[in-house]
Structure 1
Amino acid sequence: MKRVAYLALYWHPQSPEMGIETRRYVEELISRYRLKVREFRADRNSCYFSPLDADSKRFRDLMDEIERRADIDDVNLKIWPSYTRRELESSPLLVWHLTNQAIEDDYYDLHEDGYQGGPKTSHRRCGSCRAELEQVRDLVVNKRKMGRRALSLTYSFEIILSEQLAQHFREAGLTGFILRPVQHYRKPYPNEPVLYQLVVTHTLPPMASPPTAFEGVQHCSTCGTTTRFLKHTHFWGQIQYYEETDIYYHPEVLTDAHDFNRTAELFGELPTGHPLVLISQRVYRLLREQRVKGWEAVPVCLTEGREGQTGGSGLRGLWRTAL
């Protein structure tokens, strides 16, 4: 595993002369650190660098130097771990991220009810925060938005599958989910696809925290719903940057894990917080064998036991390896 840094610099000079001076300094940085750039236009006070090795001495020295420059007043830095195929294939659990949200939300929720929990709502909702508490009927969506995709998300993070992919899941005997039919919001049309909503039914115990860290916790005192974000705010001196925390579970969780699992925690803001979906190697390999597009996999870390010490797998963070 290696950490990959995506760095961009911005400056807002108070005079043309100061702008020229800062630009010359950035040009010197590029030369001295032998940096590759994605964009460095003469008509803009910004520079976008090609990905850098965040664990290298060159990167650390570069950031220490930038942090001391007052004229570079806006630094955008995001760090993502990058995993090899072997590391992904050796992780017993992986976070499953879908990479498109092509499907609009349920027609009545989106266009008629406004997510207020009225008589046609797809979910029973909290009267205070409007968080979803229970799905009460099948989803009604515009199926044309699915196109030829095998899977997609709705705006509210519901997972929609093609009939073919749903059949692959059934035939493989995968566990931890049910399928609900998805209806079209208008009259049937020629070659209308059969779609299913994948509902993950197995919930894992809470994550091991620490070492898993959270931030931005929100709580509704009426329904008891709590949402959060994985900790991602860090500082390099005075420079704030983004790097998501690792997800850890105690190894005992593997004993009862299914092929599809949902986290006990909800992530995001109220009222749209949702669980993460964790998949087994069986799901990971099936998706790869069927060449399904539109998803990413992220290894999950295991502790050494109830004391919360980190294990020796070396798997770290939330690198998203697009497929």
Structure 2
Amino acid sequence: MKKVAYFTVYWGDEYGKPPKTPEGKARDEALAKALLQRLEQMRKVKIVEVSTKRPFYDLKIEVGSEAFNFLMETLQQSPHLVSPFTVLKDYTCQELESAELLIWGPTNQAIEDDYYDFYAEGEQHRDLHQRCPACGARLKQIRDLIVNKARMRGKDVSLTYSNEVILSERVAQLLYEAGLTGFELRPVHHYKKPYKGEPTLYQLVVTNVLPPMASPPTEFEHFHHCDVCGRTSRFLKHTHQWGKIQYYEDTDVYYPRSVLEAAKDFNHTAEYFGELRVSHPYVIITQRVYRLLREHKVKNWAAVPVYLVD
């Protein structure tokens, strides 16, 4: 696995603080540009953007490289030059193909959302879910999805704003013919009259719920709880500190190895993530699903490994 950090180095006035003096701004600009000159000579650095009109530049640097260590050490003395940066993980094929479980999901939201739940107003509005009267959490889906099917535009899978997964007819047939477990399919309807070439779409409804994650080592933050419906939501720990510099990186997900006894091919987590009103579980798949989708060149999805501990 390779980790890549995305930085913005900025030497202008800081939001919410008094404007810098001309001397202070000149000092910060000189330091930022000196850093850039050094980084341009190092490996595993990509200069994403350098603005000639605004006081910043963007960097993409491999974590643990000489350039990353140099930048982090130097910025400890001037942490105001960098806003919280993001670290993303790039997994190898071997890591993905050896993981017994993986977090899975579509990578686009082409469908956007249910038409009568998201777009319609007044008497036309029709809730897709039964919601908690206090926190607004979605407790139960009470009808089939009604969407603008034309937005699918030949995609294999899509995700709505409400985190429902929509499948093309080809993918739905693949899952059934492979005998995969832990899911049901619901029909998806077009929001207007049928049209020529209208695709057949299905909603993937995951029915198997896994036991809770192993925590620790899985880390969470920003818990929310509703006393009325009993829903608790959280976020995977995302905020970290590297000396004086804050950065964002999702924690890995861990389960006890015994979870395999309860797992089916499609599963969702016992935990809900996000703000209460939009909280949802993660979808977790087995290698059977991962390899089937890869073998048949299904597009528009991504997966990351889940780690098992004894």
**Normalised TM-score (structure 1):** 0.87
Give aligned pairs, total: 300
Equivalent residue number for residue 313 of structure 1: none
Q: Which amino acid aligns with 1:88?
A: L
1:164 alignment partner in structure 2: 170
Q: Which residue of 2 aligns with 1:2?
A: 2
Which residue number corresponds to residue 116 of structure 2? 108
1:64 is displaced (CA, Å) by: 2.1
Q: Superposed, which structure 2 residues align to 1:1-323 within 5 Å?
A: 1-13=1-13, 14-33=20-39, 34=42, 35-50=45-60, 52-69=61-78, 72=81, 74-112=82-120, 120-304=126-310
5+ residue gaps, structure 1, are 305-323
User: Would the aligned equivalents of 2:221 and 2:237 in 1 still touch at CA under 8 Å?
Assistant: yes
Partner SS for 2:84:
strand
Tell me how far apart the structure 1 counterparts of residues 133 and 154 of structure 2 sit (CA, whole Å): 38
Distance 1:154 1:70, change over 3 A: closer
Residue 65 of structure 1, CA deviation = 1.2
Q: Report the more deviating stretch, 12-21 or 254-263.
A: 12-21
Amino acid of the structure 2 residue aligned with 1:79: V
Gap change, CA 1:126 and 1:119, over 3 Å in 2: farther
CA distance, structure 1, for counterparts of residue 92 and residue 265 of structure 2: 22
TM-superposition CA deviations, 1:158-214 (whole Å, max 9, x none): 000011110011111111000000111111111111110000000000000111010
Gaps in structure 2 of 5+ consecutive residues: 14-19
| CA contact 2:8–2:56 (8 Å) conserved in 1 | yes
* Structure 1 residue 113 displacement after superposition: 5.9
Residue pair 2:266, 2:286 contacting (<8 A) in 1 also: yes
Q: TM-score, normalised by structure 2?
A: 0.91
Q: State which drifts further: 162-171 or 40-49.
A: 40-49
- Measured after TM superposition, the shift of residue 243 of structure 1 is 1.0
Q: Partner of 2:17 in structure 1?
A: none
Give % identity: 53
SS of 2:118's partner is helix
The two structures, once aligned, show a CA RMSD in angstroms of 2.0
| Letter in structure 2 aligned against 1:91 | A
8 Å CA contact 1:113–1:121 kept in 2: the answer is: no
Asked whether the 8 Å contact 2:88–2:249 carries over to 1, the reply is: yes
Between the aligned partners of 1:32 and 1:163, the Cα distance in structure 2 is 53
User: What is the aligned partner in structure 2 of residue 314 from structure 1?
Assistant: none
Deviations 1:91-143 (A, max 9, x none): 000110211111132222113468xxx99322211111111111121111111
